[in-house]
Structure formats: structure tokens, C-alpha cells
């Protein structure tokens, strides 16, 4: 016959097992990326990338953000309570997938993005848990980053632009790739790469490079409008949506 102490221990074990087996509902908080690109709304930040936290929903690509007053869950529907009585509904379709219903466009699906910072936090937590099991290692000073010489990438870009004027496409592409290794060279390198690929009738790559240029601060719309290099792209809805987003 089991003693009272044994019965109590068994009950505690059963309760612990039940608690461990219960899975939490997927969270809407985090960084999400659209599986297919739609033209973002002017009023709501529902662009290709969105970030949701307890206080705001934002779109890094569109530089748009709205405060979140409350988050309410109704089954698979999660409603973000925005200012002026506006509610924005997302529908959970798995732990790392959700969608939003957009008028005239249907459902736009998003996948969760695992940010480097989140991975770093998880790795640090696991490392802290194992810390008592290993001997502490000496902390070494961080390496000093190399000094970027302005003349290095400027000379490469000048040579690349000269090659583009001469029609030396392969040489220009190589020089731009070399200049792109220097962060200060952007977004000019991205823009020149967009021009080069547009001239070579590679529209997908041209739009990708132009998107990189916008993300890194390119805003010379007069220059963009006056050039003939993008004439073939101006009827492409992707080009129109991209320019409208940043103009």
C-alpha cells in the first residue's frame, strides 16, 4: 500500500508532467517577412518586413510605425488595437506563419524571421547554463577594425563608371564588386549596379540593386527620373511600387 508521502509525490509528478506537456499559443511578437510582396498601404505599416512588439508595429523598409494600445487574441485571430479605434487583425497559421487580409489582394502571408540578436540571446542563455561545467577562458581584446581609406573605394568607383561609359560591362561589374566591400561606398555602388544590370536587360537584378540603394539611403529622385537607363523598367509594377515607397 502506498504511503501518504508517496501519494503526494506521485500527484506532484503528474501535475508537473501536465504542465510541461501544455504548449503555449504562438506569439505574434517578433520580426516577420512577407512570403510574397504586395504594395504597402500608405496608412498601415504592412510592408514586406514588419516588426511587432508590445508597444508598436513598424515596417523597417517603409520607415512606417504605429503605436499599439493593446493586443487581443481570439482563437487564431490576433487583433492589434491601434489609435483612433482602428483594429488590425492577423491570423496565426502555425508557430512561425501568419497572414493578413488585404482588400483587393487577398491574403498576404508572413514568415517569422529569426533575428541575429535573438539567436545571440538564446546562445548566451545556453552558454550561461553550461558555465559552471567549464573552466573560464581568458578574455581577449577585440581586433581593431581596419581603417577604410576613402581613396580606395572612390578610385574603384571612378574606374567602374569610366568602364560603364566605355561599354566594358564585365570590367565595370568587377570594379563595383570590389568597391562594394567598403561600406561607405554604398548606396552609390548599389545604384551603379542597378544601372549596369538594367543596361544588360536583367530587370530582376536591377530592381534588387535599386532596392538595396534605397535601403541604404539613396534619395536622388531627380537623377533617377532623368536617366534613360530605367526606361524599360518604368512599366514594371515592381519598379513603380519600389519608387513610390521611398519617394
**Is the per-residue pLDDT at 189 higher than 50?**
yes
Return the higher-pLDDT residue of 23 and 156: 156
Tens digit of each residue's pLDDT (9 = 90 or more) over 97-113: 888 887 666 788 888 88
Q: Which residues of 86-113 are buried (b: 16+ CB within 10 A; e: fewer)?
A: eebebebeeeeebbbeeeeeeebbbebe
**Is the per-residue pLDDT at 93 higher than 60?**
yes
Lowest-confidence segment of 144-158, 186-200, 210-224 by average pLDDT: 144-158
Decide yes or no: CATH 2.60.40 for domain 30-116: no
**In the chain, what are the domain boundaries?**
30-116, 150-246
Cα 50 to Cα 100, 195, 203, 246, distances in angstroms: 12, 29, 26, 16
The verdict on pTM exceeding 0.75 is: no
Rounded mean pLDDT, 129-156: 62
Residue bearing cell 561607405? 184
**Cβ(43)–Cβ(64) under 8 Å?**
no
Whole-number Å distance between alpha carbons of 97 and 24:
15
Cα 52 to Cα 35, 56, 112, 179, 205, distances in angstroms: 17, 6, 11, 36, 30
Amino acid at each position: 500500500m502506498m504511503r501518504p508521502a508517496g501519494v503526494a509525490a506521485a500527484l506532484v509528478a503528474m501535475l508537473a508532467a501536465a504542465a510541461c506537456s501544455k504548449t503555449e499559443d504562438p506569439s505574434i511578437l517578433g520580426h516577420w517577412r512577407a512570403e510574397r510582396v504586395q504594395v504597402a498601404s500608405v496608412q498601415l505599416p504592412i510592408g514586406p518586413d514588419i516588426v511587432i512588439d508590445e508597444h508598436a508595429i513598424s515596417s523597417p523598409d517603409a520607415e512606417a510605425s504605429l503605436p499599439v494600445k493593446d493586443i487581443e487574441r481570439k482563437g487564431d485571430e490576433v487583433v492589434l488595437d491601434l489609435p483612433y479605434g482602428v483594429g488590425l487583425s492577423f491570423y496565426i497559421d502555425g508557430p512561425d506563419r501568419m497572414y493578413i487580409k488585404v482588400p483587393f489582394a487577398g491574403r498576404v502571408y508572413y514568415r517569422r524571421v529569426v533575428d541575429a540578436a535573438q539567436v545571440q540571446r538564446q546562445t548566451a542563455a545556453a552558454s550561461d547554463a553550461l558555465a559552471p561545467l567549464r573552466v573560464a577562458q581568458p578574455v581577449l581584446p577585440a581586433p581593431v577594425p581596419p581603417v577604410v581609406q576613402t581613396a580606395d573605394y572612390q578610385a574603384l568607383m571612378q574606374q567602374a563608371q569610366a568602364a560603364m561609359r566605355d561599354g566594358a560591362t564585365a570590367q565595370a561589374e568587377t570594379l563595383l564588386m570590389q568597391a562594394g566591400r567598403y561600406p561607405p561606398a554604398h548606396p552609390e555602388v548599389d545604384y551603379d549596379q542597378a544601372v549596369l544590370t538594367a543596361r544588360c536587360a536583367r530587370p530582376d537584378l536591377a530592381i534588387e540593386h535599386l532596392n538595396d540603394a534605397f535601403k541604404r539611403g539613396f534619395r536622388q529622385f531627380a537623377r533617377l527620373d532623368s536617366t534613360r537607363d530605367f526606361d524599360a523598367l518604368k512599366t514594371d509594377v515592381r519598379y513603380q511600387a519600389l519608387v513610390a515607397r521611398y519617394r
